[in-house]
Amino acid sequence: MKCKGVAALLVCVAVVLWLLPAGEAMGSPLDMAATSAGQTYRVASLSETFVDTSRATPPNGTYPGSSERILPTLVLYPHQLEKHRRFPLIVFSHGFTASGPLYASVLSPWVAHGYVVAAPTFPLSSGGAPGGPTISDYPNQPGDVSFVITQMLRLDDTEGSPLHNLIDPQSIGVAGHSLGAITTLGVADNSCCKDHRIDAAVSIAGIELPFPGGTFFSGHTAPLLLIHGTSDQTVPYAASQMLFADSRSPTFFLTLEGAPHTAFFDPWGPVITRTVVAFFDRYLKHSSTVHLILESGTMSGVSSIQFREAGSVVQPISVRPDRSHPRYHSRPERAGSSS
């Protein structure tokens, strides 16, 4: 679905609002997120509240608005007994009526594999938004993601912070689900608000919605992983097909056979985790390969994956997974949580 012009924008927003009822909002499927093989770090957590005084929160229903934007943020990070490594940073954007902490069980396996993840709760699209959750603030959310990146790097530079010297500032990724995927596409791939610090992006059940003054996939864009279920009744599967056709950077398209809008549970959850980790390993850690990403996303009857290089013709790729690979059999070390 493409939306161009003011009238089309209003139609798109109305459609997405209608398709994203509070009852669909996240809940139990996220609590069933599968853990991934190869976890090596305990997962520690802290809560931060970032306040952007340079940007306003618009009025919303009974809420009069504010001259600033407040972003409570769950931070999950690898616990090291002796700090000697720096880890890539990923900022994750939640879906409509959800929150950052609601995705903790989805994000923890990423962290255990060696990533710092910041999951902000957006001012007006979360379930607890003043005046009630609204989708209308989504054009402001890419700016929130950029602000969170800046604040996370500030904490990395702050002596005494648990994050001091923990983040690799040259390795930054973004990811999001549903409305959070729309946000991710905005900050990574739209000229309106593209953040050039971003090295890789993951869109889970996303769609191209317009951002004022911007266009998608103009100029250089970061490598992109698209993930979508064929039975998504909220955001159509065709939306990611369109993104795959339009993208110019190296792009992967993970198709989840028969999966609904929220698919972070068996049999799709482990595939999502493996593929996301392999993708970020390739483009943030430079320790994976395209072939391993394709292997991770290929499971008979469950998922398939396509890949295209920048500017090339779309080519479906069929890969027979190597089930002897430790990724499929090694049992994860225990990953706990600490505050």
In a domain, 161, yes or no: yes
Q: What is the CB neighbour count within 10 angstroms for residue 204?
A: 30
Residue 208: band (very low, low, confident or very high) from pLDDT cuts 50, 70, 90: very high
We report the CATH number of the domain holding residue 106 as 3.40.50.1820
Residue pLDDT, tens place only, 70-129:
999 999 999 987 777 899 999 999 999 999 999 999 999 999 999 999 999 999 999 999
Give the span between the Cα atoms of 274 and 218, in whole angstroms: 30
Q: Do 84 and 65 touch, CB atoms closer than 8 A?
A: no
In a domain, 338, yes or no: no
Q: Do 243 and 188 touch, CB atoms closer than 8 A?
A: no
What is the three-class DSSP state of 275? helix
**pTM score:** 0.85
CA of 175: how far to CAs of 23, 188, 290, 321, in Å? 23, 9, 19, 25
Looking at residue 72, its pLDDT comes to 98
What does the radius of gyration of the chain's CA atoms come to, in whole angstroms?
19
Give the span between the Cα atoms of 308 and 315, in whole angstroms: 6
For the chain, the domain total comes to 1
In a domain, 335, yes or no: no
In a domain, 85, yes or no: yes
In a domain, 198, yes or no: yes
In a domain, 111, yes or no: yes
In a domain, 165, yes or no: yes
In a domain, 339, yes or no: no
User: Which range marks the domain in which residue 213 is found?
Assistant: 5-329
Q: Do 214 and 190 touch, CB atoms closer than 8 A?
A: yes
pLDDT at 138 over 80: yes
CA 256 to chain centre: 17
Percent share of the chain, pLDDT over 70: 79
